[in-house]
Amino acid sequence: MEIINTTVLIIGAGFGGVATAIELRRAGIHDVVVLEAADDVGGVWRENTYPGAGCDVPSPLYSFSFAPNTQWPRRYALQPDILAYLRQVARRFGVLGLVRFRSKVVSAEFDPDIARWRVRTADGTTYLTRVLIPATGQLSQPVYPSIPGIDTFTGVSFHSARWNHDCDLSGKRVAVIGTGASAVQFVPFLQREAASVAVFQRSAPYVLPRRDRVYTPRQHRLLRALPILQKADRLGFWLYTEFAQECLSRWQFFTPLFYFQARRHLRKQVADPVLRKKLTPDYALGCKRVLFSNDYYPALTSSTVDVITERIDAVTPKGIRTVDGTVHEVDVIVYGTGFAATDLLASITVRGLNGRSLSEAWKEGARAHLGITVPGFPNLFLMYGPNTNLGGGSIIYMLESQARYIRSAVQFLLARPDHYLDVRTEAEQRWDDEVQSRLTRSVWTRCSSWYRNAQGRVVSNWPGRTSEYRWRTRRLDPADFHVIRIHPTPGTPSDTPPTAAPDTAPDAASDAALDPTFDAPTGAG
């Protein structure tokens, strides 16, 4: 059995893992290994290849601040272009050489005697690492609905995140279960390809127009000649998303503006009052993810598409039976039912101090100080952890903030080779109390959605602006942690007072570091 030692181990080579690896390399930290279960970088943008897959955040903002791309084909990039961008960035900044592909992590256990995580992969390799950074994200595990008979269907069925490109849909009767962000993008394709499409809708989404456009060669030349134009575009989008994020969490007196846009969009694109009523949401705007599309509603108005709002009773060998007794016979079922967003790291057995599992620590819902550190799990730093998702805005901006914080933690530990960091329970509790209190005033507590777990706790979303989060994660504060010496000198305490070990990380809290158009290294001060 191979045993490999490293200082930092990152799990996952999506945007979060790549961002962290780049941040560490730019700080001069090169003893880094990235484990990726697949054979390429990309995360969700590698896995989600369904027709029409793309981002609902404008491309200038959905990119790293230090790696602007003047060659985006359009304002809202599609999956192949986003994946190509991440590959290019990973190659440009030397991350590809750090990645061990086809390395699926199955377990991680902290050994306090040596202050190392013992990480095992499915092929039997063991890694001993001082710092463990899971960057698997909240949207990595596709989830199927709990419907009786789901395994009895004799036709072709697949999840949108595992699209079956070998399935010829021409002339087929297709059923779509789910009307979330993915379905809004692939349903128009199905409408064009299939003989008929039955869309089973549990609740209607709010859909706003997508202000998309193709960038012309002339615009590309301008962006290359005048980079300030793209920075200004990025800044404008960022300011708008900061406003939208506040409207969802605090300034709900502005939501009528968004209601007006959504209702006008529906009214303009759907003339049939019966269908329009089916497509009118019956919950507060923003409680579930707001979607952006120009072709979803037109696809639903097609004579070959039927929107079914009757609740599903069961899947049968030939199709789908609804509670009114009707059996809708179909040839193909596509599940657009999202991901297990509230079950972070569920596919990996993680054990911290005293052998306690992370699943036990999170039995009432995932939680972490700053969304990054968990008491009892030393030297473990999460990327895209609990309560760091956004109802509006670019997650990449949040990932850069987390990567910078983790970089400062790694620098702190490198300056103290015989110590480990365990976040104080009271620090995590203060953070969680604040976040949950703020969330109770947000729109996300007003309905059931993937933002909340079975107990009703909002475990996904951050309740503030991204600029606030960046400020609060500008550097590690040693006072939030037990700084434990693994082999203390007799007569000295093992928990070193934070004041005796000042943080050596550079100060990243300058105005430039808080500026979303700043394209120097994210670790720079």
Question: Could you read off the pLDDT of 188-221 as tens digits, one per residue?
Answer: 999 999 999 999 999 999 999 998 999 999 988 8
The yes-or-no verdict on residue 121 having pLDDT over 50 is yes
- Are residues 92 and 165 part of one domain? no
Q: How many residues does the chain have?
A: 525
- Are residues 480 and 407 part of one domain? yes
Instruction: Tell which wins on pLDDT, 230 or 101.
Output: 101
Confidence (pLDDT) at 489: 57
Q: Percent of the chain at pLDDT above 90?
A: 69
* Position 489 in a domain: yes
Q: Which domain holds residue 234?
A: 156-214+220-335
- Are residues 400 and 372 part of one domain? yes
The yes-or-no verdict on residue 507 having pLDDT over 50 is no
Number of domains in the chain: 2
Confidence (pLDDT) at 279: 96
The Cβ-side half-sphere exposure at 392, using a 13 Å CA radius, reads 26
The yes-or-no verdict on residue 523 having pLDDT over 70 is no
Confidence (pLDDT) at 501: 37
Choose the final residue of a domain: 335, 370, 400.
335
**In the predicted model, what is the mean pLDDT of residues 61-90?**
95
CB 187 within 8 A of CB 296: yes
- Are residues 98 and 199 part of one domain? no
* Position 150 in a domain: no
* Position 146 in a domain: no
- Are residues 166 and 136 part of one domain? no
- Are residues 133 and 231 part of one domain? no
Instruction: Tell which wins on pLDDT, 247 or 69.
Output: 69
The yes-or-no verdict on residue 123 having pLDDT over 70 is yes
- Are residues 250 and 347 part of one domain? no
The yes-or-no verdict on residue 278 having pLDDT over 70 is yes
Structure confidence by residue, pLDDT tens digits, 442-462: 877 777 777 777 777 888 889
Quote the CA–CA distance of 494 and 176 in Å, as a whole number.
58
Choose the final residue of a domain: 311, 335, 359.
335
CB 386 within 8 A of CB 345: no
Torsion sign over Cα 20, 91, 94, 349: positive
Mean pLDDT score across all residues of the chain: 88
- Are residues 277 and 302 part of one domain? yes
The residue type at 449 = S
Structure confidence by residue, pLDDT tens digits, 473-493: 999 999 999 999 987 655 555
CATH number at residue 276: 3.50.50.60
Q: Percent of the chain at pLDDT above 70?
A: 91
Beta strands in 178-268 (DSSP E): 196-200, 207-208
| Cβ atoms within 10 Å of 260's Cβ, excluding its own | 10
* Position 324 in a domain: yes
* Position 525 in a domain: no
- Are residues 459 and 426 part of one domain? yes
- Are residues 316 and 369 part of one domain? no
Confidence (pLDDT) at 487: 75
- Are residues 108 and 135 part of one domain? yes
* Position 325 in a domain: yes
Among the listed ranges 167-171, 251-255, 318-322, which one has the minimum average pLDDT value?
251-255
- Are residues 473 and 354 part of one domain? yes
Choose the final residue of a domain: 335, 361, 386.
335
The yes-or-no verdict on residue 518 having pLDDT over 80 is no
Q: Which helix (H) or strand (E) holds 292?
A: strand 291-292
Phi, psi (degrees; rounded to nearest 5) at 112: -70, -20
